[in-house]
Amino acid sequence: MSSAGLVRYFDAEDSKAPQMDPRSVVAFGVILGIFVQLLTIVT
């Protein structure tokens, strides 16, 4: 498969794919980072 085919495959919008708000992804990353920092401090 050519690289152009791969780009077209991964760039296609899949209606069945879970749709997530980018802000929720950033918020989840921040919360996960704080959680890891708290675990590091506690142990």
User: pTM of the predicted model, to two decimals?
Assistant: 0.56
Q: Cα separation of 29 and 22, whole Å?
A: 11
Q: Tell me, what's the pLDDT at 26?
A: 95
**For residue range 17-40, what is the model confidence (pLDDT) as tens digits?**
677 888 999 999 999 999 999 999
Helix (H, G, I), strand (E, B) or coil at 41: helix
Q: Cα separation of 42 and 40, whole Å?
A: 6
Report the Cα–Cα distance between both ends of the chain, in Å, rounded: 49
Question: Does the pLDDT at position 1 exceed 60?
Answer: no
